């Protein structure tokens, strides 16, 4: 609606649902002349869904349904399509690649064994072909990591559970992993980086100007030898009436209410106020009703306390939280009776209230410092309570402090004043608001969260860029960014901070460069957030976007991972992938670390499964090439596949985070799940697993005391045994001992390989086996199951195995343990890539061709 008539002194509207900014906007009838005006600039327009917090007006409807701000947000959400997560894309690619490779290997194994189809042991060519077809099928079943979907889901579910304990509630399971490859976090300012609780930060008076960090309070201490300005700092950044007031030297004030300026400041804050502070027992915190700035003044009055009580402020702590919420405010409201109120108006920029106490009438005023100070003729001194004329020197000093608060420190400033009125006066007029007595300045801010600075440093260390996105003005946002460390590494902010209109005016090439440098984006509205996300995604960035209002829904839906605030709207939550229960930026950083750990665990599972499956392929392939009997029967292959794909693989999902998980740069979106070096490691480990299995088989025939101790050539010519004379029975090749030894070697070596996968690059000396007791327990259970099929008769017949002697077990351990040593060596090279130095040496400039040298 467009306003056409004012029916009160002012109209203020809370537009947080559209802009995310907690401060209400004052509306007026004048036409908006701002170019590229955002919602906050359209001061003559009332938007559907927003709330009028003060005043009355008449307006004409200029848009309904899809033509409203809400309608445009809905349309924007409908145009946004869901995209597959990076992990899903890479797993799909990996699955397709694996299927092709396994199909090729199975066909190759069957073809390689064509020469054995006619072996007499098979009873004919067709029977031999069917036998080796079964082996190929068993190999395919063994090689395909069918446990991958279950383990990935388990990893994500476990990560979701851990993240819930960190106050990050996941709505979309795949988004857990997406956090791990996030390269840019676009974070809301209000409520996420800050507490979204307006609090007094400084107080100033004269005689010493008083400042407080509940707000900044500035008062005049004395004017006898020139103006002496004191600053008082007030601790506490919530609405809780708990905090300490410190003087300019950092000393705590035991009885703040004994100082005249602070006492009258508390009176004015309590009486010239229309807000309410109350305790919510269900949520266990203090809540506001009304304007944030007015509630901050009520909290200041509570922290100043009451005069004349030596037990202050400890006596207040004995009250219940419900009583404590506004105890001091209620005291002043009982002491003074409100007679008349002059509401805030845009032209005056102040409000006043006339109060009476013991036949004494006092006018209390608060408002913009420039308006209040210009109406003051005297000033209250904090040292002795005297009232002295407001000289030009004092006025200049106050103006200087006000400019410091509003400029450098970007505080929201209010000035407080009073005036003794005739006892017969029962109403106020605008003419009464002159010749006031100045009490002090109060500077308020929405303070940054304590933990945000460390979270910002963690992001920088992890190679994640943070862009602060806000509807607030540029100077206020830049001040906050300095406080939280977002600009710590920057010398000049000019190329890193942009308003939405400034960014839109840049040519396309300059916009691309600006996106690569941007750290702050101010005066934005919903369309700008969505444009920002799309532009970053076009630069192959993985974007996490935070938001809490209806206005944020399109950007949350478009982002790779949308993060809604727990205190936000239902629309924002439904469009998001994750909800922060505590609205805290630090929880996002913790969730990023969890996402990286989940991806690492997924890679470890794939590595474990692929290296084990390569071992099974190598085992069968080498046996066929060497011409020795089949090392494993199909049912034994399936058993190994069952025990290795089962508990140990699932338990890898419980691996703890690596200590350096947040010191690594984010992985690239197009990075393969299995890189070249990793695949080489898979091949080395897999080759050893296969060769160790074959070695166990050969050992029993050639060297075992319980075996026939055949020459190796006899083993290679086993298929001709029935056609020639031998010193041993041909039935020896049907003995179950050799395949039992090879199967046991395969199972045990894969259990040791599972321990290798506690970390991709960290040694077992750094991350010991007991760091994941689930994995240790799964290995124990797996070995008990394997022993069960060896020594329980019906099961041993079913799996074509036989009990092993102690000597057999000793050889099994000798053949299995080296897999740990081999992987430790490979991990060492991963941590210390000496090979890169070798390659770099060959790329020295004096060895490059002239063309390459020119390009370099």
Give 156-178 as a 3 state SS string. HHHHHHHHHHCCEEECCCCHHHH
Q: Would you say residue 140 has pLDDT above 90?
A: no
Contact 244, 259 (CB under 8 A): no
Which two three-digit tokens encode residue 549? Answer: 């209002």
Instruction: Assign residue 55 a region (left: φ > 0; alpha: ψ between -120 and 50; beta: otherwise).
Output: left
Residues in the chain: 856
Which two three-digit tokens encode residue 75? Answer: 């349309």
Residues 6+ apart with CB under 8 A from 813: 748
Strand partners, 466: 185
Question: Whole-angstrom Cα distance, residue 663 to residue 458?
Answer: 8
Instruction: Assign residue 250 a region (left: φ > 0; alpha: ψ between -120 and 50; beta: otherwise).
Output: left
94-126 tens-digit pLDDT: 778 878 887 887 888 788 778 777 776 667 788
For β-strands 2-6 and 412-421, DSSP reports them as: unpaired
Percent of the chain with pLDDT over 90: 13
Which two three-digit tokens encode residue 641? Answer: 């596949």
Helix, strand, coil tally for the chain in percent (to 5): 50, 15, 30
How many Cα atoms occupy the beta-carbon half-sphere of 700 within 13 Å? 27
Contact 749, 695 (CB under 8 A): no
* The pLDDT value given to residue 375: 93
594-646 tens-digit pLDDT: 888 877 877 777 778 777 777 877 887 787 777 778 788 878 877 887 776 67
Instruction: Assign residue 25 a region (left: φ > 0; alpha: ψ between -120 and 50; beta: otherwise).
Output: beta
Q: Would you say residue 376 has pLDDT above 90?
A: yes
CA 777 to chain centre: 32
User: Which range among 99-108, 228-237, 534-543 has the greatest average pLDDT?
Assistant: 534-543
Residue among 330, 400, 326, 332 nearest 364 (CA): 332
Q: pLDDT category, 212, cuts 50, 70, 90? A: very low
Rounding to the nearest 10 degrees, give the CA dihedral for residues 166, 20, 281, 244.
90
Which two three-digit tokens encode residue 176? Answer: 């857990």
Q: What is the average pLDDT score of the chain?
A: 80
| DSSP-based three-state secondary structure for 54 | strand
| DSSP-based three-state secondary structure for 69 | helix
Which two three-digit tokens encode residue 57? Answer: 């007006």
* The pLDDT value given to residue 820: 92
Q: pLDDT category, 473, cuts 50, 70, 90? A: confident
Which of 7-16, 178-187, 398-407 has the lowest average pLDDT?
398-407
Give the single-character DSSP code of 408.
I
Taking residues 654-680, report their average pLDDT.
Answer: 75
Question: Whole-angstrom Cα distance, residue 761 to residue 124?
Answer: 51
152-199 tens-digit pLDDT: 777 778 778 888 888 888 887 777 777 778 889 998 877 677 777 766
Please give the backbone phi and psi of residue 810, each rounded to the nearest 5 degrees, phi first: -60, -45
Residue tagged 């609405």 (tokens):
239
Question: Whole-angstrom Cα distance, residue 454 to residue 457?
Answer: 5
Query: CB atoms < 10 A from the CB of 833, how many?
Result: 11
Which two three-digit tokens encode residue 517? Answer: 């440098």
- More confident: 258 or 94: 258
* The pLDDT value given to residue 60: 96
Give the single-character DSSP code of 14.
E
Question: Whole-angstrom Cα distance, residue 180 to residue 711?
Answer: 56
Contact 286, 238 (CB under 8 A): yes
Which of 52-66, 184-198, 493-507, 553-567 has the lowest average pLDDT?
184-198
Question: Whole-angstrom Cα distance, residue 749 to residue 812?
Answer: 8
Which residue among the candidates 119, 188, 205, 808 is catalytic per the annotation?
188
For β-strands 578-580 and 561-565, DSSP reports them as: parallel
The H or E element spanning position 191 is none
Residue among 659, 657, 653, 615 nearest 637 (CA): 615
Question: How close are the terminal C-alpha atoms of the chain, in Å?
Answer: 62
Question: Whole-angstrom Cα distance, residue 64 to residue 1?
Answer: 9
Q: Would you say residue 211 has pLDDT above 50?
A: no
Kindly write down the DSSP assignment for every residue of 617-670, as one continuous string: HHHHHHHHHHTPPPSS-HHHHHHHHHHHHTHHHHHGGGPPPPTTTTTSPPPPTT
Percent of the chain with pLDDT over 70: 87
Question: Whole-angstrom Cα distance, residue 161 to residue 155?
Answer: 10
Residue among 402, 368, 372, 380 nearest 219 (CA): 380
* The pLDDT value given to residue 364: 95
Taking residues 381-388, report their average pLDDT.
Answer: 86
* The pLDDT value given to residue 841: 35
Burial of 702 (0-12, 13-18, 19+ CB in 10 A): middle
- More confident: 136 or 431: 431
Q: Would you say residue 671 has pLDDT above 80?
A: no
Question: Whole-angstrom Cα distance, residue 18 to residue 73?
Answer: 9
Q: Would you say residue 465 has pLDDT above 70?
A: yes
Taking residues 186-213, report their average pLDDT.
Answer: 61
Burial of 162 (0-12, 13-18, 19+ CB in 10 A): middle
Taking residues 709-723, report their average pLDDT.
Answer: 74
Question: Whole-angstrom Cα distance, residue 286 to residue 321?
Answer: 9
Which two three-digit tokens encode residue 317? Answer: 């702590």
Contact 523, 38 (CB under 8 A): yes
* The pLDDT value given to residue 69: 84
Q: Would you say residue 377 has pLDDT above 90?
A: yes
- More confident: 827 or 211: 827
Contact 524, 470 (CB under 8 A): yes
475-534 tens-digit pLDDT: 778 777 877 776 666 666 777 888 888 888 888 888 888 888 888 888 887 778 888 998
Question: Whole-angstrom Cα distance, residue 78 to residue 564?
Answer: 18
**Catalytic: 188?**
yes
Question: Whole-angstrom Cα distance, residue 437 to residue 419?
Answer: 6
* The pLDDT value given to residue 282: 86
Which of 255-269, 722-736, 745-759, 775-789 has the lowest average pLDDT?
722-736
Question: Whole-angstrom Cα distance, residue 612 to residue 689?
Answer: 7
| DSSP-based three-state secondary structure for 147 | coil
**Cα 839 to Cα 834, 835, 846, 850, 854, distances in angstroms:** 9, 6, 14, 19, 20
* The pLDDT value given to residue 207: 38
| DSSP-based three-state secondary structure for 57 | strand
For β-strands 360-367 and 412-421, DSSP reports them as: antiparallel
Taking residues 423-448, report their average pLDDT.
Answer: 87
Q: Would you say residue 354 has pLDDT above 90?
A: yes
Kindly write down the DSSP assignment for every residue of 486-550, as one continuous string: TTTT-S--TTTEEEHHHHHHS-HHHHHHHHHH--EEES--HHHHHHHHHHHHHTT--EEEEE-SG
For β-strands 543-547 and 561-565, DSSP reports them as: parallel
Q: Would you say residue 205 has pLDDT above 60?
A: no
Residue among 157, 314, 320, 299 nearest 241 (CA): 299
**Cα 412 to Cα 369, 585, 797, distances in angstroms:** 10, 24, 84
Please give the backbone phi and psi of residue 251, each rounded to the nearest 5 degrees, phi first: -80, 140
Taking residues 705-709, report their average pLDDT.
Answer: 80
* The pLDDT value given to residue 83: 64
Residues 6+ apart with CB under 8 A from 445: 198, 199, 201, 215, 409, 410, 411, 412
User: Which range among 231-235, 493-497, 731-735 has the greatest average pLDDT?
Assistant: 231-235
Contact 216, 296 (CB under 8 A): no
């Amino acid at each position: 609606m467009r306003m056409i008539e004012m029916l009160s002194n002012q109209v203020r509207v809370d537009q947080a649902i559209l802009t995310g900014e907690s401060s209400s906007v004052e509306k007026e009838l004048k036409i908006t002349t701002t170019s590229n005006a955002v919602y906050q600039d359209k001061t003559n327009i009332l938007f559907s869904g927003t709330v009028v917090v003060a005043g009355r007006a008449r307006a004409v409807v200029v848009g309904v349904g899809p033509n409203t701000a809400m309608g445009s947000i809905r349309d924007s959400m409908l145009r946004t399509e869901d995209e597959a997560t990076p992990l899903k894309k890479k797993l799909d690619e990996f699955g397709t690649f694996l299927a092709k490779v396994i199909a090729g290997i199975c066909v190759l194994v069957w073809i390689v064994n064509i020469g054995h189809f006619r072996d007499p042991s098979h009873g004919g060519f067709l029977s031999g072909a069917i036998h080796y077809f079964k082996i190929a099928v068993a190999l395919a079943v063994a090689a395909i990591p069918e446990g991958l979907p279950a383990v990935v889901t388990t990893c994500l579910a476990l990560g979701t559970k851990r993240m819930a304990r960190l106050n990050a509630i996941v709505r979309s399971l795949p988004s857990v992993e997406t956090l791990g490859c996030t390269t840019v976090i676009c974070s809301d300012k209000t409520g996420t980086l800050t507490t979204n609780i307006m609090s007094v930060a400084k107080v100033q008076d004269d005689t010493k100007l008083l400042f407080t960090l509940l707000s900044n309070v500035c008062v005049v201490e004395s004017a006898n030898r020139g103006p002496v300005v004191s600053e008082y700092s007030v601790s506490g950044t919530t609405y809780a009436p708990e905090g300490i007031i410190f003087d300019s030297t950092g000393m705590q004030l035991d009885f703040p209410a004994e100082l005249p300026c602070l006492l009258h400041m508390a009176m004015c804050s309590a009486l010239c106020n229309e807000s309410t502070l109350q305790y919510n027992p269900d949520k266990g915190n203090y809540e506001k009703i009304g304007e944030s700035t007015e509630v901050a003044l009520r909290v200041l009055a509570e922290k100043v306390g009451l005069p004349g009580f030596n037990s202050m402020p400890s006596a207040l702590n004995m009250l219940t939280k419900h009583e404590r919420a506004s105890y001091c405010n209620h005291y002043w409201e009982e002491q003074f009776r409100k007679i008349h109120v002059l509401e805030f108006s845009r032209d005056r920029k102040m409000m006043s209230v006339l109060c009476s106490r013991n036949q004494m009438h006092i006018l209390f005023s608060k408002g913009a410092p420039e308006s209040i100070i210009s109406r003051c003729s005297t000033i209250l001194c904090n040292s002795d309570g005297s009232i002295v004329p407001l000289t030009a020197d004092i006025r200049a000093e106050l103006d200087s402090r006000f400019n410091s608060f509003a400029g450098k420190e970007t505080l929201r400033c209010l000035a407080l004043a009073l005036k003794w009125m005739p006892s017969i006066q029962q109403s106020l007029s605008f003419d009464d608001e002159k010749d006031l007595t100045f009490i002090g300045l109060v500077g308020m801010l929405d303070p940054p969260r304590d933990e945000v600075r460390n979270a910002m440093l963690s992001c920088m260390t992890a190679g994640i860029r943070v862009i602060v996105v806000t509807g607030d003005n540029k100077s206020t946002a830049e001040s906050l960014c300095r406080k939280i460390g977002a600009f710590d590494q920057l010398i000049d902010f000019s190329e890193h901070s942009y308003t939405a209109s400034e960014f839109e005016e840049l040519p396309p090439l300059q916009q691309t460069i600006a996106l690569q440098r941007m750290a702050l984006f101010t005066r934005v509205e919903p369309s700008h957030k969505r444009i920002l996300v799309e532009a970053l995604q076009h630069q192959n960035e993985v974007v996490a976007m935070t938001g809490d209002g209806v206005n944020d829904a399109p950007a949350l839906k478009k982002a790779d991972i949308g993060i809604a605030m727990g205190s936000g709207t239902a629309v924002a939550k439904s469009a998001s992938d994750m909800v922060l229960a505590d609205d805290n930026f630090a929880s996002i950083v913790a969730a990023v670390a969890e996402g990286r750990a989940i991806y690492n665990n997924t890679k470890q599972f794939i590595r474990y499964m692929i290296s084990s499956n390569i071992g099974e392929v190598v085992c069968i392939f080498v046996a066929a090439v060497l011409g020795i009997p089949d090392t494993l029967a199909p049912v034994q292959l399936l058993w190994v596949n069952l025990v290795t794909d089962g508990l140990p693989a699932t338990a890898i999902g419980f691996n703890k985070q690596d200590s350096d998980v947040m010191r690594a740069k984010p992985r690239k979106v197009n990075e393969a799940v299995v890189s070249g070096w990793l695949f080489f490691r898979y091949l080395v480990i897999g080759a050893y697993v296969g060769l160790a299995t074959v070695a166990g088989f050969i050992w029993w025939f050639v060297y075992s005391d319980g075996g026939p101790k055949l020459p190796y050539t006899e083993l290679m010519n086993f298929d001709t045994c029935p056609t020639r004379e031998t010193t041993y029975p041909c039935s020896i090749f049907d003995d179950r001992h050799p395949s039992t030894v090879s199967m046991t070697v395969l199972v045990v070596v894969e259990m040791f390989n599972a321990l290798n996968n506690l970390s991709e690059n960290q040694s077992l000396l750094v991350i010991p086996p007991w760091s994941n007791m689930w994995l240790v327990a799964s290995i124990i259970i797996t070995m008990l199951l394997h022993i069960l099929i060896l020594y329980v008769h019906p099961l041993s017949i079913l799996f074509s195995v036989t009990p092993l002697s102690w000597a057999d077990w000793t050889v099994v351990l000798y053949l299995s343990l080296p897999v740990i040593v081999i992987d430790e060596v490979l991990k060492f090279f991963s941590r210390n890539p000496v090979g890169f130095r070798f390659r770099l040496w060959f790329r020295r400039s004096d060895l490059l061709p002239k063309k390459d040298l020119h390009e370099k």
